[in-house]
């Protein structure tokens, strides 16, 4: 059982089991973790979260809501990214 663990400012908010082909945003919802959202298609960037640990594939090409510099800093879009293995996610967006 692989888990997604959700944090805010380094404090764990909760966790949920990864489901195949289910975006991180939906798994967070099931765990009662609120992540801001807008378009839910990768265009607006509202659901930007930071991958603390683990790996999450980024679509190629990256969606409009995710710039190269954000990817380099470990950010992903919860609405379209799917975790393949256990990951830790920081839900506090960058300033």
In the chain, domain spans: 3-90
Q: What is the pTM of this model?
A: 0.92
Q: What CATH architecture does domain 3-90 belong to?
A: Roll (3.10)
Whose CA is closest to 78, among 22, 31, 3? 22
Q: What is the pLDDT of residues 33-73, one digit of tens each?
A: 999 999 999 999 999 999 999 999 999 999 999 999 999 99
Does the pLDDT of residue 95 top 70, yes or no? no
Strand order in the sheet with 3-8: 11-17, 3-8, 87-90, 48-53, 75-77
Q: What is the pLDDT of residues 63-92, one digit of tens each?
A: 999 999 999 999 999 999 999 999 999 998
CB neighbours (10 Å) of residue 17? 13
């Amino acid at each position: 059982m692989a888990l997604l663990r959700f944090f805010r400012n380094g404090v764990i908010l909760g966790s949920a089991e990864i489901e195949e082909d289910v975006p991180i945003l939906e798994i967070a919802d099931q765990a009662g973790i609120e992540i801001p959202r807008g378009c839910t298609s990768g265009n607006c960037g509202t659901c930007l979260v930071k991958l603390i640990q683990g790996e999450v594939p980024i679509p190629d090409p990256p969606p409009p809501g995710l710039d190269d510099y954000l990817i380099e800093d470990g950010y992903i879009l919860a609405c379209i990214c799917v975790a393949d293995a256990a990951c830790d996610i920081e839900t506090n967006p960058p300033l």
